[in-house]
Amino acid sequence: MGRTMLVVAVTTAAVLGALSAQVAALIYLAHGPWHERLSLVLQLLALYGIGLGFLSRSQVVRRARFCIDDMTSPRIGTFVAGNFRFVALLFSTVSVGLSPDRTTRSSLALGCLGGALLMGASPFVILYAAFHLLILAPLSYPAYLMASGLVESVRGSARDLTVTRTSRVPGSADSEPGLQREEEMGEVQLFSVREFVDADPASAKSFLIGLPAAVLSLITKLVGLFLSG
């Protein structure tokens, strides 16, 4: 047991070290002042987090929750597998659109137009897949690891914060016949912090990353304006 924990700890430290080196190299090799390079990294995190957050809220994507949940997992193996699965789904979607077989209810002209557009966009899809796997996903993993810790601290807490509203409810049905039921005051729960996070942890983690990264990117740009002035 102790040896297994040691292997996991060493592997995690090695992965985090490699990711940190990649972030440092990205900031160092990029041209421009330091605040512009830092803002670039924050914008990439905001793009990944906010985009994945809205994607996870889509009704269509809810049927493929395994992909979104894996892409926000704190486990490095599951995280990498989820991102490869996402890229595979992207390529599969393009392959379906490029198929020459059409249904009878499909417009032939629009189908040919869409196929031509997909054919022209194929190089950009390949470039995005490489960018996603080599830049976006490695940059986002440390952030999702920390966000997973924050989400789990709320989900696993024995305490909760609820917002309730007092409203009038009908009286008990056990009242005597012929007597008018008296209205009683009751509390209706409107919001629960733990249920809010537990309902969709993938979206919670994504927005915990994307929104602060977008705000910090804006602040970095503002700081850069004052420094350059």
* pTM for this prediction: 0.69
- Tell me if 42 sits within 8 A of 216, measured CB to CB: yes
Q: Closest Cα to residue 133, out of 96, 82, 92, 95?
A: 82
**Which of helix, strand or coil describes residue 185?**
strand
Domain boundaries, the chain: 2-170+182-228
Helix (H) or strand (E) holding 162: strand 162-169
Write down the pLDDT at residue 127. 92
Write down the pLDDT at residue 6. 58
Q: Closest Cα to residue 135, out of 16, 211, 45, 39?
A: 45
229 residues of the chain, pLDDT tens digit each = 556 655 555 555 555 565 666 566 665 656 667 777 777 778 888 888 888 877 776 655 666 555 778 888 888 888 888 889 888 888 888 888 888 777 777 777 787 888 888 888 888 989 989 888 888 888 888 888 888 888 888 888 777 777 666 666 555 555 555 544 445 555 555 667 777 777 788 888 888 888 888 888 888 888 877 776 5
**Which of helix, strand or coil describes residue 201?**
helix
- Alpha carbon separation from 91 to 64, 118, 169 (Å, rounded): 16, 11, 55
- Tell me if 74 sits within 8 A of 16, measured CB to CB: no
Write down the pLDDT at residue 8. 52
